[in-house]
Amino acid sequence: SYNKIKLVPKELGNCVGLERLELAVNRDICDLPHQLSNLKKLSHLDLSMNRFNTFPPVILDMPNLEWLDMASNRLKEIPGNIDKAENLHTLWLQRNEITCLPESISNLKNMTTLVLTSNKLQDIPVCLNHMLNLR
């Protein structure tokens, strides 16, 4: 965090025991290499304050991911298969450009924290009614 990293090296995917990865406030990171799907033990990922325009698909290949911060990026949408991140309990998405949420987000039964402030949402998505563990 708080560096000037522009690219995440694919070799980081070799750190298979990694449980926590902090890449916040680098300002220029806009993609993640698919090799990070090898990080099967990763439970905490902070990508806030970078330049992600799209949700990196590799995130959905991290089976133990529980905590994800993608605040202050340039995200416009959340992928329709977000429910692949079934262990996710905390998701920070504030200060992006998100206009709507996919219905599949309601399938994340472990979700307790979902932060969506300062986006471009026009209404409260009905699917949130099914997320009974949200606090």
In this prediction the pTM is: 0.94
CB-based contact 115:71 (threshold 8 Å): yes
Residues 49-73, mean pLDDT to the nearest whole number: 98
Residue 95 belongs to a domain: yes
Residue pLDDT, tens place only, 64-105: 999 999 999 999 999 999 999 999 999 999 999 999 999 999
84 lies in some domain: yes
Neighbours of 132 (CB within 10 A): 8
The CATH number of whichever domain residue 73 belongs to comes to 3.80.10.10
Q: What is the pLDDT of residues 28-41, one digit of tens each?
A: 899 999 999 999 99
Q: Is residue 94 part of a domain?
A: yes
> What's the DSSP call for residue 77?
-
Q: Tell me, yes or no, whether 54 lies in a domain.
A: yes
> For position 130, what pLDDT does the model report?
86
What SS3 class is residue 68? strand
Domain presence at residue 5: no
In a domain, 30, yes or no: yes
Looking up tokens 């806009």, which residue turns up?
Answer: 30
**Block residue for tokens 């560096």:** 3
Q: Domain tally for the chain?
A: 1
Q: Is 4 among the domain residues?
A: no
Tokens of 126: 């009905």
Q: Which residue has better confidence, 129 or 57? A: 57
pLDDT at 125 over 90: no
Residue 135 lies in a domain: no
Q: 110 near 132, Cβ under 8 Å?
A: no
> For residue 27, what pLDDT is reported?
82
Q: Tell whether the model's pLDDT for residue 1 goes beyond 80.
A: no
Q: Domain range for residue 55?
A: 10-130
